[in-house]
Chains A and B, each alone.
Chain A
């Protein structure tokens, strides 16, 4: 769909696009199609909306490409735009959720993990089963937005603590506290369910 320019790195592509070679934008964003969609999907209700948000985010990024500053990573910048686009949409849909989106309450009481006596490693092949994928998706959705955002950015999109703090405009210590709580909440919900979903004889494909 677009001409390959294998010799150009990201910064060169961005410069070329800004200089008028707009078609290079297709190539520039290709590595980030999944991460932007995933960021959106973790925040909005369904796949259709997530796709909309992702498209909007890529369009916004194109229109605002001149504002991109090379001191941040392009991927982080894109993910921030997707985050803001998803938040904007949620705000429009529901005023009830605004509080949790805009004014996260103080990190209150402690969260405790699910107590187990032993854990049998669940191999990633288990993800071939839709049931297991659904369990994980649901558990992420069950987190409130302030925890979900941090977890998705840090553990799924692989942003650093600093990048996450920057994108969310919160402190580094807030990122750490929220991430900790999010991870423990995921463990609490998922460990018992995954244990049940894991048969004694591990026959994931049967």
Chain B
């Protein structure tokens, strides 16, 4: 059995997760060895997902942590023992 490109595209996500049944994986693998377009699609998808998952893409705003913990402290200690307002911006 030979897979066409558009069928290979359907398997990209599961191929990356290594969750394809062994025989399907092998068919996809064979196709990839002979198809530069599908290999480029697979490589670019993998590359893009690695970049997307990087902690640098979404960074915490300055002062986030301080503001969060100040608010938690107010909640935890209730209205009666409100700590001083945080001094950061």
Contact = CB atoms under 8 A, between A and B. Distances in A.
A59 B49 contact: no
Contacts of B27: none
A112 B67 CA distance: 43
A189 B40 CA distance: 15
Interface of A: prevailing SS: helix
B13 interface: yes
Nearest to A41: B58
Interface residues of A, number: 55
Contact of A1 (B9, B37, B69, B75): B69
A121 B43 contact: yes
Nearest to B36: A117
A125 to B, nearest CB: 10
B65 to A, nearest CB: 6
Interface string B16-42: 100000000000000000001101110
Interface string A1-25: 1100000000000000000001101
Interface stretch (A68-76, A99-107, A176-184): A176-184
A146 to B, nearest CB: 15
B36 to A, nearest CB: 6
B48 A51 contact: no
Given A26-B69, A184-B9, A187-B41, A127 B57 contact: yes
Contact of B75 (A54, A62, A158): A62
A168 B5 CA distance: 32
A137 B58 contact: yes
Interface string A77-121: 000000000000000000000000000000000101111111101
Contacts of B54: 124, 127
Contact of A116 (B12, B41, B56, B65): B41
Nearest to B5: A115
A126 interface: yes
Given A59-B72, A59-B75, A140-B52, A37 B43 contact: no
Interface of B: 6, 9-10, 12-14, 16, 36-37, 39-41, 43-45, 47-58, 60-61, 64-65, 67-69, 71-73, 75-77
